[in-house]
Amino acid sequence: MAAIDALFDALLAAGGSDLHLGVAYPPLMRVRGDLVALRDAPLTEAEMESLLFEIATPEQRRTITEALDLDFAYAYGERARFRANYFHKTTGLAAVFRTIPTTIRTLAALRCPPAIERLADRRTGLVLVTGPTGSGKSTTLAAMIDHINATRACHVLTIEDPVEFVHAPQKAQITHREIGPHAATYAHAIRSAGREDPNVILIGELRTNETMKLALQLASFGILVFATVHTNSASATIDRIVNAFPADEQPQVRGMLAESLAGIVAQQLLRTADGKGRVAAHEILVGSPALASMIRENKTFQIPSLMQGGQAQGMQTMDMALERYVRDGTAALEVALEKALDKESFARAFHKDELAPL
């Protein structure tokens, strides 16, 4: 048993999502969004090296020493997997471990709207799941892949850095590829993906305009492509992708995106009203001829209105999702207001209710 396993046990027992380790600080765990110390005494440099290097391979130790940071996945027996990031900071060596549950939660268990399942049922197109770091993007994507795995006889290829959720084949054949051990870069892996006869491809993150273009090309080939982007809203996601390219390439990219975009799910996590957990609020944009026209004509500012008017197709803005949680008692108003995109309008909607006559 590795010494760090005792910290993992404490993290899992508390239902925590992340373990933070750093020289001169006590071990910290993130529980329901807050950082909580596991002990009073700070970690020493010797203790940090012992904890971190005990579970690292010789090659990984070389990487953290020479490149100064390291990403890898660590399997803690059958209990959990962790996405590990080792790095250096002013006080010395540090690490963050993100919990990856061994049991993949279903879309229903995550309270995902039916429109997200319908996106998973698509046969072609690009589906983007977006949100800030720690918003549950990987968990939502894992649930969507799990739904496909349970319902379709197809080939699912995942390209990640590192591999997070490991899917056991059900109806689908699952191929997991990790950047580093199995492919030099995301671009290399995505380029070869089309020759591996996939029906569904999951790309861990679209980081460069090269990977964005390759993902769009794969989606245009009749493949269902899932990927993540670090943006806070559907319209910002489209702008981020287009603006990643030089001005002379942007019209072509708009055309590819208009043709291939199946949907965008932007999500945020917020604490539940009872304080016992967190729930994801989803902004959902579904591909349509109207959306394609807005993308081609560079009118992304009209997308929020499209989502407000597209509720029959399962669309909703982030503020609509947050308002629903407040009204059904899932989340407190002040917590939802903190996450709202248009805070003034959001607060005004509830202020009107307070002033309305009984």
Domains in the chain: ranges and CATH: 5-101 (3.30.450.90), 114-347 (3.40.50.300)
More confident residue, 1 or 146: 146
Mean pLDDT in residue range 31-51: 94
Identify the CA nearest to 322 among candidates 232, 205, 226, 239: 232
Q: What is the mean pLDDT of the chain?
A: 94
- Describe the strand order of the beta sheet including 92-101 as a list of residue ranges: 34-37, 28-31, 18-22, 92-101, 80-89, 69-76
Confidence (pLDDT) at 354: 52
Confidence (pLDDT) at 358: 40
Confidence (pLDDT) at 350: 85
Confidence (pLDDT) at 180: 84
pTM listed for this prediction: 0.87
Mean pLDDT in residue range 94-107: 92
More confident residue, 94 or 103: 94
Identify the CA nearest to 166 among candidates 154, 152, 176: 176
- Residue 356 in this model has a pLDDT that exceeds 50: no
- Residue 293 in this model has a pLDDT that exceeds 60: yes
How far is Cα 70 from Cα 229, in angstroms, rounded to an integer?
21
- Residue 352 in this model has a pLDDT that exceeds 70: no
Identify the CA nearest to 101 among candidates 182, 164, 59, 50: 164
Identify the CA nearest to 262 among candidates 221, 297, 226: 226
> In the chain, pLDDT over 70 holds for what percent of residues?
98
- Residue 138 in this model has a pLDDT that exceeds 90: yes
Mean pLDDT in residue range 278-292: 96
